[in-house]
Amino acid sequence: MSSPLSYTLRATVGQARSGILTTPHGEVPTPAFMPVGTYGTVKGLIPEELRDCGASIVLSNALHLWVRPGDELIRELGGLHRFMNWDGPILTDSGGYQIFSLKEFSTVSEEGVKFRAPVDGQYRMLTPERCVQIQENLGVDLAMAFDECIEWPADRARVLASTQRTTRWLKRCIAARTQPDRTALLGIVQGGFYADLRKAHADEIVELDLDAYAIGGLSVGEPQDQMLAMVEETTPHLPATKVRYLMGVGYPVDIAEAVSRGIDLFDCVIPTRSGRFGQVFTHEGRLTIKHARYREDSRPLDPECPCYTCRSFSRAYLRHLFQANEILAPRLLSLHNIAFYQRLMARLRAAIEQGPDALTEVRALALRWSAAIPE
C-alpha cells in the first residue's frame, strides 16, 4: 500500500531538519506552522490572506465539523477543500483533545468516548471507526488517529492504561480505513511525562508503519522544560523518513526549541486567539495594542514586518479600532500574527540550511519575541 505522503529531507543541524512534505494537495516546506481553522475557517481570515501570509497547510477539527454542519454534508458538497475554498493541504485533528477539555461532560470506555456537545447539548459517541470515517468523508490529506489525551499531572498507572488504550484504538483506526491512498493516517505518541513510556509507545506504533507520526498529550499545563524533555526523548524513536508533528504548541520560543529537537509540523490557536484579544507578536516582543501608550503612536505594529496590517495602519489606528469594538481590529491583528509565525518558520528553515550558528541565533530571537514588552 503506497502512502499519500512523502517526506524529502533537505538539511539538518543536530536533530533539527528542513524538508518538503508532499501531499495530494501540494507541497509543504518544513518546519511549518498550520493556522488553526477549527470549523473550516481560520477565524476572521480568508484563504487568499492565509496564502499571502505564507501558509501552505491549515488545520481543521473533525469532531467539530462532525457536530456541525456534518461530515456527510461536507462530503456531498465536494469535500472540505471545496467547502472552505482552500486548495492546499488540510490536516484534521480527531477531537481527542477537545473531548479532554470536555471531561466533565464525557465518559471514556473501550468502545470510545460518549460526550455532550456544547453546540446542541446532545450526547454523541465517537469511536475510532467513526473518527476515521468522518475524516475520510471530509477528504482531508492528513487525518489524526483517535487517541486519549489525559491531564497533567497523572500517575503512572493511569498513564500506562491510557496509552495502551490509545494503541488499541489506533489499530482499530487502521482497520477502519477505506481510502488509504487519499487520506494519510497519523499515529499519536502518548505516555504522559514518563520518558520510558514515551519511548516504548513510539517504538510500538512505529512498527505499524503509518504515514506519519505525532506527539500528543503535551501543552496541557505543564512547564515548558517538561514539554521539551518529552519531545527530546521521543523524536529519536520516530522514523527519519516521515514527518513529525507536535500537537498544540505554542509560542515562538516553544516552536524554535521543538524544531531544534526534530519536529516538523506545528499548530496552535495562540496567534489568532491573541489577535482577537489585542495582543500581537513583534520583533520587539509581545505588545497589547489596547494599552493607552499606543493612543498617539504612528508607527506600524512591527516596522520589520511586511504584512498588510503593518504596511497599512498605525498602532494608534489599531488601538482606536479596539476601543470602538470594530470587527476589523481582531481581523488585522490575527492577520499580522499569522504572518509573523509564517516568517518565523521561514527563518527557521533558512537557519537549518545555513548551519548551527544561524539556528542558535533564531532560537535566541524566538525567546525575545515570545516575551511581553514591559509596560
Nearest partner of 22 among 211, 190, 191, judged by Cα: 211
Provide the pLDDT confidence category of residue 374 given band limits of 50, 70 and 90. confident
Do residues 102 and 91 make contact, with C-beta atoms less than 8 angstroms apart?
no
pLDDT recorded at residue 52: 97
Global pTM exceeds 0.85: yes
Which band of pLDDT confidence, cut at 50, 70 and 90, is reported for residue 1? low
Sequence ranges of the domains in the chain: 10-268, 274-370
Residue 104 has a pLDDT of 75
Which residues are identified as catalytic?
A: 93, 267
Out of 58-62, 119-123, 336-340, pick the least confident: 119-123
**Quick one: 295 exposed, middle or buried, by C-beta within 10 A (0-12, 13-18, 19+)?**
exposed
| Distances 234 to 25, 94, 202, 246, 253 between C-alpha atoms, Å | 29, 21, 7, 11, 19
The residue written with cell numbers 516552536 in the block is 255
- For the chain, the residue count is 375
Question: Which pLDDT score, from 0 to 100, does residue 103 have?
Answer: 75
Q: What confidence category does residue 144 fall into, taking pLDDT thresholds of 50, 70 and 90?
A: very high
pLDDT at residue 101 is higher than 70: yes
Q: Does 281 score more than 80 pLDDT?
A: yes
Average pLDDT, stretch 199-206? 98
Number of alpha carbons in the 13 Å side-chain half-sphere of residue 246? 30
pLDDT (tens digit per residue) in 284-310:
999 999 999 999 999 999 999 999 999
Contacts of 315 (CB under 8 A, 6+ apart): 289, 294, 297, 298, 299, 300, 301
Residue 323 has a pLDDT of: 97
For residue 97, what pLDDT is reported?
Answer: 79
Neighbours of 29 (CB within 10 A): 17
Which tens digits make up the pLDDT trace of 347-360?
A: 999 999 999 999 99
Q: What number is the average pLDDT over the span 168-178?
A: 98
pLDDT bracket for residue 317 (50, 70, 90): very high
H/E stretch holding 161 reads helix 156-176
pLDDT interval class at 150 (50, 70, 90) = confident
What's the mean pLDDT in 207-235?
Answer: 97
pLDDT > 70 in the chain, percent: 100
pLDDT tier, 375 (very low <50, low <70, confident <90, very high otherwise): confident
Question: Mean per-residue pLDDT for 85-112?
Answer: 89
> In this predicted structure, what is the pLDDT of residue 105?
79
- Per residue in 50-64, pLDDT (tens digit) is 999 999 999 999 999
Round to whole Å and give the CA distance between 374 and 277: 18
pLDDT of residue 315: 98
Whether 371 has a pLDDT exceeding 90, the answer reads yes
Residue 168 CB coordination number (10 Å) = 11
CATH topology of domain 10-268: TIM Barrel (3.20.20)
Q: What is the mean pLDDT of residues 120-133?
A: 95
